[in-house]
Amino acid sequence: MNLNRMNGVKNYLSLVKFSHTIFALPFALIGFVLGIKHMDDLHTPAEDGIKKFLLVLLCMVTARSTAMAFNRYLDRHFDKLNPRTAIREIPAGIIKAEKALLFIIINAAIFVTATYFINPICFYLSPVALFVIMFYSYTKRFTYLCHVVLGVGLSLAPIGAYLAVTGSFALLPLLFSFAVVFWVSGFDVIYALQDIDFDQSQSLYSIPSYWGLKKALNIARVLHVFSAGFIIAAYFVGDFSFIYLGGMAVFIGMLLYQHSIVKPNDLSKVNIAFMTANGIASIVFSVFVIGGLVLQILANIPSAIIP
């Protein structure tokens, strides 16, 4: 019985590609720590920091699970026809469609409930966030800009986490959000290269199916140039220490690397570009940024305590 439960959990983790959390979660953590630093600058106590951190983490997991499961549920008929995706849990019969739908409803309810305990503005905006991240699943049916919509969905992570801590918007987390928009859009274009023939055969929209391999790769490069630009802009706006530069170098380096290994005539390394390069970019960048922010917060503690 326990083994069956473990297999069931693994199936649902596979359904939502839980390992892909490494793309947005590190940026959410950056937004959260930025919020803590902002509160320190205002000499505002943060006794509920741990509670909010756990709630933000819960929101990240449930929001992403809702979006990914909904995408799998909505695309189950296309997935069954595509040899690359026919082994996914719903078309393969591992998870029934109605159970996936129940999973979506439960995660969405948990997400909204969690935002209620964070602050009013997060709660009021929670339906908007759910709409954005679920709307992406429809976009391949009518626009080749579906990749940008996915980027917008993931870009809610840094500004959402910052909003959870401070209850207000600010320029710096927005710069990170814009960086995520163009970063995710770019690597999703690269990932979509694998399905160019299938998308064309099913009249599905994507930049590769619309523009072709070479132009799609060039568009992905342009998107990543914009992402790098926002990462650089955040350095100057945020008054970060030199530690930020190390993370920035790795992030931009991974952008360059993935474009060096994916060619129009050789798509064999798309998964390395998609998962490995971008996973390293996100994790290493966040470690450097958060490390620098923590040092700045610790350096400000004495002045905040002494009257």
In a domain, 11, yes or no: no
Q: Per-residue pLDDT averaged across 79-84, rounded?
A: 94
Question: Is 158's pLDDT higher than 70?
Answer: yes
**Higher-confidence residue: 198 or 307?**
198
Average pLDDT over residues 127-135: 96
The one-letter code for the residue type at 230 is F
Query: How confident is the model at residue 3, as a pLDDT?
Result: 59
> What is the average per-residue pLDDT within 167-172?
93
Domain that holds residue 43: 22-301
In a domain, 306, yes or no: no
Which of the two residues, 153 and 307, has the higher pLDDT score?
153
Lowest mean pLDDT among 209-218, 230-239, 290-299: 290-299
- Confidence check: pLDDT of 305 > 80: no
CATH number, domain with residue 132: 1.10.357.140
Structural domain includes residue 163: yes
The rounded percent of the chain whose pLDDT value lies above 70 is: 93
Is 255 inside a domain boundary?
Answer: yes
Q: Would you state the pLDDT for residue 93?
A: 93
Tell me whether residue 8 is in a domain. no
- Counting the structural domains of the chain, the total is 1
Q: What is the rounded distance in angstroms from the CA atom of residue 143 to the CA atom of residue 206? A: 7
What is the pLDDT at residue 304?
44
Residue 124 lies in a domain: yes
pTM: 0.92
More confident residue, 297 or 246: 246
| Average pLDDT for 263-292 | 92
Q: Is residue 4 a part of any domain in this protein? A: no
Residue 121 belongs to a domain? yes
